[in-house]
Homo-oligomer: A and B are copies of this chain.
Amino acid sequence: MDAEEKVIRLVTSCPDQVGIVAAVSQFITEHQGWLVESNYFTDSETKQFFMRNEIKINPLSVSLNEFRHTFAKVAEKYSIQWYLRDTSQRQKVVLLASHASHCLADILHRWHSKELDCEISCVIANHENLRSMVEWHEIPFFYVPIEKSNKVSAFEEIIGIIDQHEADTIVLARFMQIIPSDMCEKYMGRMINIHHSFLPSFKGANPYQKAYERGVKLIGATSHYVTSDLDEGPIIEQDVIRVGHRHRKDDLVRLGRDVEKTVLARALRNHLEDRVLIHGHKTVVFD
* Interface set of A (CB-CB < 8 Å, partner B): 18-19, 21-22, 25-26, 28-29, 32-45, 101-102, 105-106, 109, 112-113, 115, 132-133, 136, 198-202, 214-218, 220, 234-240, 244-246, 248, 254, 257-258, 262, 265, 279, 281-285
**Contact, CB under 8 Å: A28 / B22:** yes
Chain A at the B interface: SS class: mixed
Residues of B contacting A26 in the complex (Cβ-Cβ under 8 angstroms): 22, 25-26
**Contact, CB under 8 Å: B238 / A217:** yes
Complex: how many Å from CA A40 to CA B28? Answer: 15
Complex: how many Å from CA A29 to CA B254? Answer: 32
Output the nearest chain B residue to A253 by Cβ-Cβ distance.
B115
Complex: how many Å from CA A132 to CA B248? Answer: 36
**Contact, CB under 8 Å: A38 / B35:** no
| Number of copies of this kind of chain in the complex | 4
**Contact, CB under 8 Å: A44 / B248:** yes
**Contact, CB under 8 Å: B19 / A22:** no
- Name the contact of A40 in the complex, choosing from B35, B105, B113 (C-beta under 8 A): B35
**Contact, CB under 8 Å: B285 / A244:** yes
**Contact, CB under 8 Å: B35 / A29:** no
Residues of B contacting A34 in the complex (Cβ-Cβ under 8 angstroms): 18
Output the nearest chain B residue to A277 by Cβ-Cβ distance.
B245
**Contact, CB under 8 Å: B29 / A18:** yes
**Contact, CB under 8 Å: A218 / B245:** no
**Contact, CB under 8 Å: A21 / B25:** yes
Complex: how many Å from CA A47 to CA B241? Answer: 26
**Contact, CB under 8 Å: B41 / A246:** yes
**A42-B35, A214-B235, A215-B282 known; A109-B113 Cβ under 8 A:** no
**Contact, CB under 8 Å: A21 / B21:** yes
Residues of B contacting A45 in the complex (Cβ-Cβ under 8 angstroms): 248
**A38-B21, A105-B109 known; A217-B201 Cβ under 8 A:** no
Output the nearest chain B residue to A115 by Cβ-Cβ distance.
B254
Residues of B contacting A265 in the complex (Cβ-Cβ under 8 angstroms): 258
Residues of B contacting A199 in the complex (Cβ-Cβ under 8 angstroms): 201, 214, 216
Complex: how many Å from CA A285 to CA B215? Answer: 11
- Name the contact of A198 in the complex, choosing from B101, B201, B237 (C-beta under 8 A): B201
Residues of B contacting A21 in the complex (Cβ-Cβ under 8 angstroms): 21, 25, 28-29, 35, 38
11 pairs of residues in contact across A and B, judged by CB atoms under 8 Å: A21-B21, A22-B29, A35-B40, A37-B246, A38-B38, A198-B198, A200-B216, A217-B235, A218-B240, A240-B240, A245-B279
**Contact, CB under 8 Å: A283 / B235:** no
- Name the contact of A201 in the complex, choosing from B29, B35, B106, B200 (C-beta under 8 A): B200
Query: How far is the CB of A209 from the nearest CB of chain B, in Å?
Result: 12
